[in-house]
Amino acid sequence: MIVLDSVLGGAKGMGIAGGSANNRSNRLYRALVESELAVDAGSSFGPTLDPGLFSFQTTLAPGVEHAAVEAAVWAEIERVQREGVTEAELHKAIKQTKAQFVYSSESVTNRAYWLGFSAVVAYLDWLATWAGRLAQVTSADVQRVATLYLSRDHQTAGWYVPESE
């Protein structure tokens, strides 16, 4: 799910101690911002004790209908489900995710956060083995989790609509 998040919305550090997405080559940016449907687009997912949300957020460009943006987001999700991700996308997503995670773990406070997370939410060696497990993710893994977890019948969509100009 973390690699899928990187492919769709850009690499970022994870969780409370995470950084923000910083690239414009992710699929949502290209599909929504470069096509002028939105001025900003992204996704987010972080590890938690209980199952959590995989979220998408966009800021629509002036004059664009919400339905058009939602359809474009689903088109990108469905493309991953049908075609998977390329080896180049996979390699880039893993490399950038690892870099963001390392960067977001540099401070003593954030390092303590991840050590606590490992002990409470995952297992004691989670932090020490995370990068190695990330490197083992395949394109088939990304396609499988996109198909399994991102389905229209499991979505909740909300549109912020201004009442007046």
Domain positions in the chain are 2-146
- First and final CA of the chain: distance in angstroms? 38
Decide: 3 and 141 in contact? Cβ < 8 Å: yes
Burial class of residue 81 (count of CB atoms within 10 Å of its CB; 0-12, 13-18, 19+): middle
pLDDT of residue 20: 53
pTM of the model: 0.88
Burial class of residue 57 (count of CB atoms within 10 Å of its CB; 0-12, 13-18, 19+): middle
- Phi (first) and psi of residue 21, to 5 degrees: -60, 145
Alpha-carbon gap, residue 95 to 90, rounded angstroms: 9
Asked: is 2-146 a CATH 3.30.830.10 domain? The reply is yes
Per-residue pLDDT of the chain (165 residues; tens, 9 = 90+): 999 999 999 988 765 544 455 578 899 999 999 999 999 999 998 777 777 889 999 999 999 999 999 999 999 999 999 999 999 999 999 999 998 888 877 888 888 888 888 888 888 888 889 889 999 999 999 999 999 999 999 899 999 888 876
Cβ neighbors of 11 (< 8 A, separation 6 or more) are 21, 22, 23, 93, 96, 97, 99, 100
pLDDT of residue 143: 98
Alpha-carbon gap, residue 137 to 131, rounded angstroms: 10
The first and second tokens of residue 56, run together, are 């998408």
CA quadruple 147, 42, 89, 103: dihedral sign: negative
pLDDT of residue 17: 47
